[in-house]
Amino acid sequence: MLAGVAAAGYLSVCGWLYFKQRDLLYFPQNTRLGVSMTDYTVKHGSVVLRGWRLNAGQGKALIYFGGNAERIENMRESLAQWFPDRTIYLVSYRGFGASDGRPEESALFADALAVFDQVAREHPGQPVAIVGRSLGSGVASYVAGHRPVERLALVTPFDSLRETAQAHYRWLPTRWLVKDRYDSVTHLRNYFGPVLVVRATADDVIPAPNTQRLIHSLQTRPQGVDVVQLEGADHHNIGTYPAYGDSLREFMD
């Protein structure tokens, strides 16, 4: 009897997580802002994505894909200073910032390709580099596997969201429940350009083994991977470390 009740409860939890997972995965609420606060748009189907363009008029370009719940506008000053010779593009995911729509993996991937394609058209014949942080590392990895990205920097990245979620919820069959998988290891098999991984040694969101598996997969490439470890940094304060900006700037030079 008790075993049956426990099994029913377990299945109920699994079912609830399956149907509510996107509400639990994406955190756009604290990123929302008015359209008038942005200065750059990308139209993708019926959705308008909004963000910012910095250092306009430079030949080379850099796209920044931010983390989940990150207010990417807070990166504008730093990115503009770190990369004065590149035009910088920060575009909020659908449902985040001032962008339309609701977030889910397939839509974010398609939107990211649309962002890259528009930026590439605005910089004909010029290199386009990408920085992806946390969730943005998964988005950036997908784009790199499908477009000619000049250089790819991944900050506090993971191997896949499915495996990362399983590491957090070991008592649930999470890897089989997750719809939005963000499988960076698979997507980067089709990318052959330079890659930098910046990891935080005190990261409390992305377990170290998940970052390490991604690094290992990249180390098997002939091109290898550059890895920078910021001692004492955690998932949220990594951007305050001077070595963070230094490592990105040196990699992009």
Predicted local confidence at residue 2, as pLDDT: 46
- Could you give the percent of the chain with pLDDT greater than 70? 87
Q: Residue 133: beta bridge partners?
A: 155
Q: What is the pTM of this model?
A: 0.92
Q: Order of strands across the sheet with 47-54? A: 40-44, 47-54, 86-91, 60-65, 128-133, 152-155, 195-200, 226-230
74-78, 162-166, 175-179: least confidently modelled range: 175-179
Long-range interactions of 204-208: CB distance < 8 A, separation 24+:
204/234, 204/235, 205/134, 205/156, 205/235, 205/236, 206/134, 206/156, 206/157, 206/158, 206/164, 206/235, 207/164, 207/167, 207/168
Residues shown for the chain: 253
Name the one residue in this structure whose structure tokens are 């890897």.
Answer: 175
Query: Which residue segment(s) compose the domain that 169 sits in?
Result: 2-252
CA nearest to 134, candidates 177, 225, 198:
198
* pLDDT of 152 higher than 70: yes
Average pLDDT, rounded, for the chain: 92
| Tens of pLDDT, residues 13-52 | 556 566 656 676 788 899 999 999 999 999 999 999 999 9
**Domain tally, the chain:** 1
CA nearest to 148, candidates 89, 191, 187:
191
**Which CATH number belongs to the domain containing residue 180 in this structure?**
3.40.50.1820
Helix (H, G, I), strand (E, B) or coil at 163: helix
CA distance 165 to 223: 29
Predicted local confidence at residue 5, as pLDDT: 47
CA distance 78 to 18: 38
In sequence order, what are the residues at sequence separation of 6 or more whose Cβ sits closer than 8 angstroms to the Cβ of residue 27?
A: 68, 69
Helix (H, G, I), strand (E, B) or coil at 52: strand
Give the mean pLDDT of 173-178.
70
Instruction: Give 172 or 41, the one with higher predicted confidence.
Output: 41
CA nearest to 168, candidates 217, 218, 203:
203
| Tens of pLDDT, residues 92-144 | 999 999 999 999 999 999 999 999 999 999 999 999 999 999 999 999 999 99
* pLDDT of 236 higher than 90: yes
Residue 150: what are its φ and ψ, rounded to 5°?
-65, -55
Predicted local confidence at residue 162, as pLDDT: 87
